[in-house]
Structure 1
Amino acid sequence: MRKILILAALVCLTFAQNVQECPTDGRLMKCVVQQQPVCGIRSLTNGKQIKETFDNYCIACSIGKVEYTVEGKCESYPAEAKFCSPAQSQALACTREYDPHCGYFNKTVQCLVPPCAIEQSNRCTTCSTENVLYTVRGNCRN
């Protein structure tokens, strides 16, 4: 019974996951040609992000320039979207500066009225909110 519960929990986590980190250990990945588009993200030192669409997670990560991927084509997200990295999503503490950001939730959150978003005082606070996928600077639009 315990094994079934653990397996069910892993399956739920797999379906809920929208962001996947790329391996950083330098291992080579053998990729198959499978169409499951992802948006590959690389962060620059100035805080900007380079976003590029790839056929799948494996191909995106195998080139060595992508830190993590997000489900779907980059073009399917707003141009001003800044994705929350896995590390930002797990932040335990944030500064208190006021720089409002609107955080948009991933597909696991069901909203009655779009947009499915939350407004927070800064980007760190927004990204560390559970299930926030990306942020846009400023107040949420209705």
Structure 2
Amino acid sequence: MNKLIVIVAIIGFCTAANIKCTEKQKQSKICTMEYMPVCGVKIDPENQYSQTFATYGNKCGACSEGVEFYAEGECESYNKKAIFCHPDDHLNVACTREFSPVCGLFDSSINCFAAPCGQNYSNKCTACINKEVTHFVKGSCEDLRV
């Protein structure tokens, strides 16, 4: 039983996620110069899936520039057509039944056997409700293998 608890705890800490900037981080005036790149995401207030993103040297730099949330690594390391899941999306308890297929992609820390490291979902909500999905692209995962 103790082994099971330890394994569950380890899996919980390894779950990938996009990280929301706090108000305190957004108000930061001074940041360190350490280079730990993040992909900062700004969202359109009218539509959270209308996004602009840019690489910042670290999370402090991203948040102080007004990004809503960030993903670890440079933006260039993600698919060019990526749409990032908002950090609060996994809190949804239900999704619509619309069929608008997407390929939900996992953080690069997840080990997978074949590229792309993703799973097909019926729509963006069903993809982003999964805590392990950090971003998605429209269409099926098979389309990315071409």
Instruction: Please give the range of the TM-score, normalised by the shorter of the 2 chains.
Output: 0.7 to 0.9
Match among 46, 60, 70 for residue 62 of structure 2: 60
Question: What aligned pairs does 1:103-118 form with structure 2 within 5 A after superposition?
Answer: 103-118=104-119
- 1:101-130 per-position Cα deviation (integer Å, ceiling 9, x unaligned): 000111342212222110011000011123
Which residue does 1:87 correspond to in 2? 88
RMSD: 2.3
Contact 1:19 1:68 in 2 (8 A): yes
Identity across aligned pairs (percent)?
Answer: 36
Distance 1:31 1:53, change over 3 A: same
Contact 2:39 2:54 in 1 (8 A): yes
- 1:13-43 per-position Cα deviation (integer Å, ceiling 9, x unaligned): 2x54442110135763242111001110011
In structure 2, how many angstroms separate the alpha carbons of the residues matched to 1:72 and 1:108? 11
In structure 1, how many angstroms separate the alpha carbons of the residues matched to 2:133 and 2:40? 17
Partner SS, residue 23 of structure 2: coil
Greater displacement, 24-33 / 131-140: 24-33
Instruction: Give unpaired runs (5+ residues) of structure 2.
Output: none
Distance 1:79 1:26, change over 3 A: closer
What is the aligned residue count? 133
Contact 2:17 2:132 in 1 (8 A): no
In structure 1, how many angstroms separate the alpha carbons of the residues matched to 2:16 and 2:136? 17
Q: Which is bigger in relative contact order (C-alpha 8 A, separation at least 6)?
A: 2
Instruction: Give unpaired runs (5+ residues) of structure 1.
Output: none
Matched to 1:19, the amino acid is N
